[in-house]
Amino acid sequence: MKKDAKISNAVIKRLPRYRRYLKELQKKGVDKISSNEFSSLIGYTASQIRQDLNNFGGFGQQGYGYNVEGLYNEISAILGLDKEYKMVIVGAGNLGQAIANHTYYYKAGFVVCGIFDINPRLIGLKINDIEVMDYETIVDYVEQNQIDIGIICTTKDSAQEVADKLCFAGVRGLWNFAPIDLEVPEYVAVENVHLSDSLHSLAYHMNRNYEEKEKAAEK
Ligand SMILES: NC(=O)c1ccc[n+]([C@@H]2O[C@H](COP(=O)([O-])OP(=O)(O)OC[C@H]3O[C@@H](n4cnc5c(N)ncnc54)[C@H](O)[C@@H]3O)[C@@H](O)[C@H]2O)c1
């Protein structure tokens, strides 16, 4: 990777998709792929692919293309997916429980170590074999277990206070599902996941497609 290079968020957002397709190619036993072939598969232009990967030093060879396994490993390393991350879930309601039960993350190196809630009726319950602990104890737990990521699944009103506590206790990343923009120290990364935003852009694209179809029919 080029040293000190500031990579745009748009490029970073495309990397997991590259990685996913490379994994599929590996499963099919494909060793190498040209940027043109990769382009028709993934739907980005070949020049976009070259530009994106050049941010990290290229990895392609003129006349050969990309080594599928090599590129997969490089992208995994760039994304930091060659390590394991310890996570806690805060809020053991509908969403917190769904995330705790979704074991795909575990296989990918993201391990849920603890779940916390303030509701006495939930404390002590086991979700996917992980006991729900009292939120009062979260700072000690995060410090002692060197937790990397906090997953915020509480109500909107509690989310900032939960984020403050998690940052104080030493997490380096927050995966935030509450519909609020969090204020955090500069060294803490936040990824907001808002399913409704995604649904709203779906509505926009559906309506735009429909309008275009209507206009084409009028011609
Ligand atoms: N991002 C998305 O796409 C998406 C989708 C669904 C829900 N949500 C949001 O996720 C959050 C959780 O939704 P849900 O349906 O699971 O709600 P829920 O009411 O079922 O669960 C929230 C849980 O948080 C706990 N809680 C509240 N304050 C807390 C605190 N300070 N510390 C620890 N636990 C605390 C509650 O006791 C409750 O168990 C909400 O903010 C909701 O708006 C986001």
Tell me the per-residue pLDDT of 85-131, one tens digit each, with 9 for 90 and over.
999 999 999 999 999 998 777 777 899 999 999 999 999 999 999 99
46-54 vs 35-42: helix axis angle to the nearest 10? 110
Most ligand 1 atoms within 8 A of CB, residue of 115, 154, 157 to mutate? 154
CA atoms of 167 and 176, how far apart (whole Å): 13
Domain ranges in the chain are 9-78, 85-196
* Closest approach atom of ligand 1 to CA 192: 1
**Fold assignment, 85-196:** Rossmann fold (3.40.50)
Tell me the per-residue pLDDT of 72-91, one tens digit each, with 9 for 90 and over.
998 999 899 989 999 999 99
Tell me the per-residue pLDDT of 146-192, one tens digit each, with 9 for 90 and over.
999 999 999 999 999 999 999 999 999 999 999 999 999 999 999 99
Distance 157 CA to ligand 1 centre (A): 10
Sign of CA dihedral 132, 138, 144, 145: positive
Region for residue 4 given its phi and psi (left: phi exceeds 0; alpha: psi -120 to 50; beta: otherwise):
left
Is 91 annotated as ligand-binding? yes
The residue whose CA is least distant from atom 17 of ligand 1 is 93
Is 178 annotated as ligand-binding? no
Task: Please state which of the four CATH numbers 3.40.50.2000, 1.10.10.10, 2.40.30.260, 3.10.450.230 is assigned to the domain occupying 9-78.
Answer: 1.10.10.10
Q: ipTM exceeding 0.90? A: yes
Is 25 annotated as ligand-binding? no
Asked if the domains 9-78 and 85-196 are classified in one and the same CATH topology, the answer is no
Backbone angles phi and psi of 131, in degrees to 5: -80, 135
Q: With CA atoms as reference, report the closest residue to 81 among 21, 156, 146, 15.
A: 15
Distance 79 CA to ligand 1 centre (A): 28
The residue whose CA is least distant from atom 15 of ligand 1 is 94
Distance 175 CA to ligand 1 centre (A): 13
pLDDT at residue 4 greater than cutoff 50: no
